[in-house]
Amino acid sequence: MTVFEGSFTQTESLRFAIVIGRFNDMVVNKLLEGCQDCLKRHGVDINPHGNQVDFYWVPGCFEIPLVARQAAFSRRYDVVICLGAVIRGQTPHFDFVAGEVSKGIAAAAFQSGVPVIFGVLTTDTMQQALERAGIKSNLGWNYAMNALEMGTLMRQVNGLGGSSYGQLTAASATQVLAGEVGRAIAPDVSSNQMV
């Protein structure tokens, strides 16, 4: 039996899209700082003019899933990281936004086969959000760690060590279909869609 596990090394070739909801920017900017710090300390070039990380700013959390899905389906990225903050108010707006954002982000990952990291805080108060964005700890760091681990894991799962962006190469698919790999999910390589 083979064990596949992500790592936090060999990150130089991973590509990331970070989708950031601008609303509640005091919190979100701190999450972004934590995320960037983690990626940088693990060998990722976070320079926006570099070739490893692209930043997508959207108005609020509700818009995150659409852009995350488009980024994932572009096949330019190994991982999409979604950052935002939805803070409960006195109306049911929180419930609608938080629920739809979580469903949309999960759907983007499931449909594309690319890891889409849920880094959206959903808190009852601003104080709780600030605690999670740097006062007690910065969950932006954790979201980046999840992205590193999933990016390296999916490279193994999808490309059997050689391909990225949620796709098997034709040679890898041939190996899977020929039974050279114990257990795998093989895509329909003729249409580039996961089956």
Terminal CA-to-CA distance of the chain, rounded, Å?
Answer: 23
Q: Residue 77 pLDDT > 90, yes or no?
A: yes
Handedness of CA 122, 152, 5, 180 (dihedral sign): positive
Q: Both tokens of residue 155?
A: 């490279």
What is the helix (H) or strand (E) element at residue 160, kind and residue range?
A: none
Q: What is the mean pLDDT of residues 154-167?
A: 63
| pLDDT (0 to 100) of residue 91 | 86
For residue 68, the cross-strand partners are none
For residue 17, the cross-strand partners are 54, 80
Cβ-proximal residues to 119 (8 Å cutoff; 6+ apart), any chain: 31, 35, 81, 82, 83, 84, 139, 140, 143
| pLDDT (0 to 100) of residue 1 | 79
Q: What is the mean pLDDT of the chain?
A: 84
Told to judge if 93 belongs to the known catalytic residues of this protein, a careful annotator would answer: yes
| pLDDT (0 to 100) of residue 182 | 36
| pLDDT (0 to 100) of residue 76 | 96
| pLDDT (0 to 100) of residue 192 | 43
Q: Residue 184 pLDDT > 60, yes or no?
A: no
DSSP helix/strand/coil, 44: coil
Cα torsion 46, 47, 50, 55 to 10°: value is 70
Q: What is the mean pLDDT of residues 16-41?
A: 97
Q: Residue 69 pLDDT > 90, yes or no?
A: yes
- Per annotation, catalytic residue among 13, 25, 26, 93: 93
For residue 85, the cross-strand partners are 121
Give yes or no for a contact between 8 and 147, defined as CB atoms under 8 angstroms apart. no
Q: Residue 27 pLDDT > 90, yes or no?
A: yes
Provide DSSP, 67-118.
HHHHHHHTT--SEEEEEEEEE--SSTHHHHHHHHHHHHHHHHHHHHSS-EEE
| pLDDT (0 to 100) of residue 160 | 58
